[in-house]
Amino acid sequence: MTVSEILDDIRDEGVVAALKYTRLYDAIELGQNDLIWHPLLQEPPVIDWEIAEAIDFAIDQIRTFHEQTKPASVVTEPLPGVHLEERYHPLGRVGIYIPNGQFPLISTLLMTAIPARAAGVTEVLAAMSPRDRVFAQPLWTYVFQRLNISDVLLLGGAQAIGALAYGLENFSPVDFIAGPGNRYVAEAKREVARRGLVGIDLYAGPSEVLVIANEMQWLDYVVSDLMAQAEHDRDARAELVTTNPELAEVVRERTRELASDMGMITVTEVETLQDAVRVANDRAPEHLGLMGAEVEALADDIWTAGAIFVGPLAGQAFGDYVAGPSHVLPTGGVGRFQSGLSTRTFMKRISVIQVSPTVSPKPYQHAAVLAHLEGLLRHEQSMRLRQSWLQTHGGTNL
């Protein structure tokens, strides 16, 4: 079935369709009352102390960063009597999609749900495949309890996106869906957004990194970061851009023999560091690494990257887990016009315009002239009405 057909089926048949696709794609038989898991109702689990400590540290780092960078409302008075405000308001109900993987993708949940909470979203729900009986795993229970997520929809794939967008019995639809997934999930997110049902965060394509380096002393760090990105999957892309032929050759040699399930690593040689800047801005990579003092000075010249990692100690995996900013970043070159996930992703910006009687009639005259110019005579009349009132009752002169 196509993604669109699955979405239509979820819309029309609800729980019946959801259970059908769970049997078909996850090979799991769930009952009608099993689709929603309530982890907050379970006893606090006991997990490995080192894992708990790492999760708690990551939560604190991510929460602190997003609380400190949350946008604030702005109030201004550009003209006497004209009060303007740009007001930020959190979204109402957000669904986080957690992709199924060989290992538990805890960081995906942290990097999406925590920014939503920091933005002020009160209802944060999750959706994940019931495969591997995630609802029976203490690790997931621990994380959901730490994030105060009460409802987890046990659905994966396009059917999960459909359920989040259309709702099910005893599960109201959400206003916004965030979180990465495979190409079917990505297509489903785009389709429900196109239908006007929900907002979505980013189109998550294959993972990318571009590293600029030109000093041999950072060879091991360069190779390590390229390999780390390539291990995501076969579609991942990792690239070194360098002015140093020796570094280029050694990196090629060290990365030549890759596992069959790893992505592609390439090396691009350029004449100057400014050429490297041009390559980086053209690529608009998801992750950009800058290693070496001379290279690190280029950070201000590159504006299209999803995130910039300055210095050899700022490896991309540091940002993936514990730095603080969300690792959900634009891929496929869309960093030219799109930013990574943040509190702004989960907030709506509203313009508020308030005018007091102390305003001058003059702005209304200008508005009336512009309305007349565009042939909108009722617009013009509405401005002339207010202009006349102010001229009669007195306003301040500009």
pLDDT single digits (tens) 250-292: 999 998 877 677 888 999 999 999 999 999 999 999 999 999 9
Percentage helix, strand, coil for the chain under 3-state DSSP, each rounded to 5: 45, 20, 35
Which residues have CB under 8 Å from 296's CB, separation 6+?
Answer: 290, 310, 311
C-alpha closest to that of 317 among 152, 117, 61, 309: 309
Helix (H, G, I), strand (E, B) or coil at 144: helix
Number of Cβ within 10 Å of residue 111's Cβ equals 28
The confidence score (pLDDT) of residue 282 equals 97
C-alpha closest to that of 340 among 308, 297, 302: 308
List C-alpha distances in Å: 142 to 55, 106, 175, 244. Answer: 9, 11, 26, 48
Please give the sequence-ordered ranges of beta strands (E in DSSP) within the chain, or none if there are none.
36-37, 74-79, 82-90, 93-98, 123-128, 152-153, 176-178, 199-200, 208-213, 237-242, 264-269, 287-291, 307-310, 347-355
Residues 11, 166 contacting (CB under 8 angstroms): yes
Number of Cβ within 10 Å of residue 189's Cβ equals 28
- Cα–Cα distance measured from residue 156 to residue 22, given in angstroms and rounded to the nearest whole number: 8
Two tokens at 175?
Answer: 């206003």
pLDDT per residue over 286-332, tens digit each? 999 999 999 999 999 999 999 999 999 999 999 999 999 999 999 99
C-alpha closest to that of 91 among 358, 369, 344: 344
Bridge partner list, 227: none
Per the annotation, where are the binding residues for Zn(2+)?
A: 229, 232, 320, 379
Residues 225, 251 contacting (CB under 8 angstroms): no
- Cα–Cα distance measured from residue 312 to residue 289, given in angstroms and rounded to the nearest whole number: 8
Helices (H) and strands (E) counted in the chain, each on its own, are 14, 14
C-alpha closest to that of 371 among 386, 351, 392: 386
Helix (H, G, I), strand (E, B) or coil at 222: helix
Per the annotation, where are the binding residues for NAD(+)?
A: 97, 159, 182
- When computed from its CA atoms, the radius of gyration of the chain, rounded to whole angstroms, is 26
- Cα–Cα distance measured from residue 266 to residue 252, given in angstroms and rounded to the nearest whole number: 8
Sheet containing 307-310: order of strands? 264-269, 237-242, 208-213, 287-291, 307-310
Residue ranges of the chain whose pLDDT lies below 50: 397-398
Two tokens at 49?
Answer: 């102390």
Helix (H, G, I), strand (E, B) or coil at 386: helix
The confidence score (pLDDT) of residue 395 equals 57
Residue type, position 264, single letter: M
Two tokens at 58?
Answer: 């990551």
Number of Cβ within 10 Å of residue 263's Cβ equals 22
Residue type, position 85, single letter: E
Alpha carbon 40 to its chain's center: 25
Handedness of CA 233, 62, 111, 305 (dihedral sign): negative
List C-alpha distances in Å: 58 to 114, 287, 322. Answer: 10, 19, 5
Residue 123 has φ and ψ, to the nearest 5°, of: -110, 100
In this prediction the pTM is 0.92
Two tokens at 263?
Answer: 């992505």
Q: Give residue for tokens 């999750």.
A: 126
The confidence score (pLDDT) of residue 197 equals 98
Residues forming the active site: 286-287
The confidence score (pLDDT) of residue 398 equals 45
Helix (H, G, I), strand (E, B) or coil at 266: strand
Per the annotation, where are the binding residues for substrate?
A: 207, 229, 232, 287, 320, 374, 379
Which residues have CB under 8 Å from 5's CB, separation 6+?
Answer: none
C-alpha closest to that of 99 among 232, 287, 4, 237: 232
Per the annotation, where are the binding residues?
A: 97, 159, 182, 207, 229, 232, 287, 320, 374, 379
